[in-house]
Amino acid sequence: MDRRAFLGALGLLIAPLAAHAQRAGRLPTIGLLGSGAAAAQHQWTAAFVQRLRELGWTEGRDVVIEYRWAEGRSDRLPELAAEFVRLKVDVIVTHNTPPTLAAKQATSVIPIVFATAGDPVASGIVASLQRPGGNVTGLSSQAPDTAGKRLGLLREVVPGLQRVATLADVGNPFATREVEQLRQAGLPLGVEVVPFELQHSAGIDRAFDTFRGRVHALYVIAVPLLFQNRVRINSLALAARLPTIHAVQEYVDAGGLMSYGPDWPDMWGRAAGLVDKILRGTKPADLPVEQPTKFELIINLKTAKALGLSIPPSLLQRADQVIE
């Protein structure tokens, strides 16, 4: 065999070996599918990355994180989830119900960890909390009686509360269930729930035209469509003199009156713990779905003043944070 032929044959032999070595040395890759925008979710993803670092996974050195953002558009979720499948990521991390369902539809092989999801059993994300089965596990943001507790907080602030409006994203199964929970919670309190169904952000202004003069407060469900429009919603609520109650602090930071719900940065940190276990070999099916352990009450006194409301001292004492 002449020298040129020998080198060619040697190249054919070495190429597959080099490719195998490259794959073997590839850093584990996490695909993070955000339902909103990068800036809006920064606090949550920062908590996730920080906890990964504490567990020995420094981004860029020990692990690669591929970020994809749906910008509040649920119709983009299937294509973004499919992109992670094509990239052959090692774990997909999601939050909220629609991104998790999109990821589950895209793959039954790649492990999926949801940092938050409302009622994952009823939504069809997992078979049960204790035995999720399949390739999905995570943290449920559902907790008993939270809808009733939020209504109770509104009653403490709004004298004579009788009718509460809510915006319902009909494309989100979690929103549909929370409206029903809210209705049931309102019955013993004598509070009527007035829902307005939304399919896209264009309906938000029309909803407030419908609510005006008919309701005493607004209950805002934590779903991507409303999160993306939280500043707009709170501006419209203030103009309509409607006190608002939310599940997530970011809404209150954007001008909402109050929020009560799970500490989402804490849940994202706990999601990192699940990802750590999966990257070290544990199967998602063997990791029970966890539930919230930390809840926060946030009150915006600036908004209360603008609405002409007086927050009872007893409620202020119970608050984890007061925005002045």
- Alpha-helical runs (H) found in the chain: 3-24, 42-54, 77-87, 97-106, 146-157, 173-186, 204-211, 224-228, 230-239, 249-253, 264-279, 301-307, 313-318
DSSP H or E stretch at residue 136: strand 136-138
Place of tokens 């052959």: 88
CA dihedral 294, 222, 135, 274 (to 10 degrees): -30
- pLDDT grade, residue 10 (50/70/90)? very low
Task: Give the least confident one: 36-40, 206-210, 234-238.
Answer: 36-40
254 pLDDT more than 70: yes
- pLDDT grade, residue 199 (50/70/90)? confident
Place of tokens 């494309």: 171
Rounded Cα–Cα distance for residues 156 and 230 (Å) = 23
Rounded Cα–Cα distance for residues 4 and 63 (Å) = 41
Domain boundaries, the chain: 7-142+264-293, 146-262+296-323
Burial (CB count <10 Å: 0-12, 13-18, 19+), residue 25: exposed
**324 near 300, Cβ under 8 Å?**
no
- Amino acid occupying residue 314: S
Rounded Cα–Cα distance for residues 114 and 75 (Å) = 19
Cα of first residue to Cα of last residue in the chain, in angstroms, is 84
Tokens of 233: 């919603």
Answer yes or no: same fold for 7-142+264-293 and 146-262+296-323.
yes
Tokens of 169: 């994203």
Rounded Cα–Cα distance for residues 136 and 255 (Å) = 35
Rounded Cα–Cα distance for residues 30 and 180 (Å) = 35
In eight-state DSSP terms, residue 92 is E
User: What is the pTM (predicted TM-score) of this model?
Assistant: 0.80
Q: What are phi and psi of 185, to 5 degrees?
A: -65, -30
Assign domain 146-262+296-323 to a CATH class.
Answer: alpha beta
Tokens of 287: 């990791």
Segment 18-32, tens digit of pLDDT: 333 334 568 999 999
3-state secondary structure of 289: coil
6 pLDDT more than 50: no
Q: Give the Cβ contact number of residue 36 at 10 Å.
A: 22
- pLDDT grade, residue 144 (50/70/90)? low
- State the pairing for strand pair 163-169/136-138: unpaired
Segment 49-72, tens digit of pLDDT: 999 999 999 999 999 999 999 987
**84 near 92, Cβ under 8 Å?**
yes
280 pLDDT more than 90: yes
> What are the angstrom distances between the C-alpha of 92 and each of 46, 71, 100, 226?
17, 18, 9, 24
In CATH, what number does 7-142+264-293 get? Answer: 3.40.50.2300
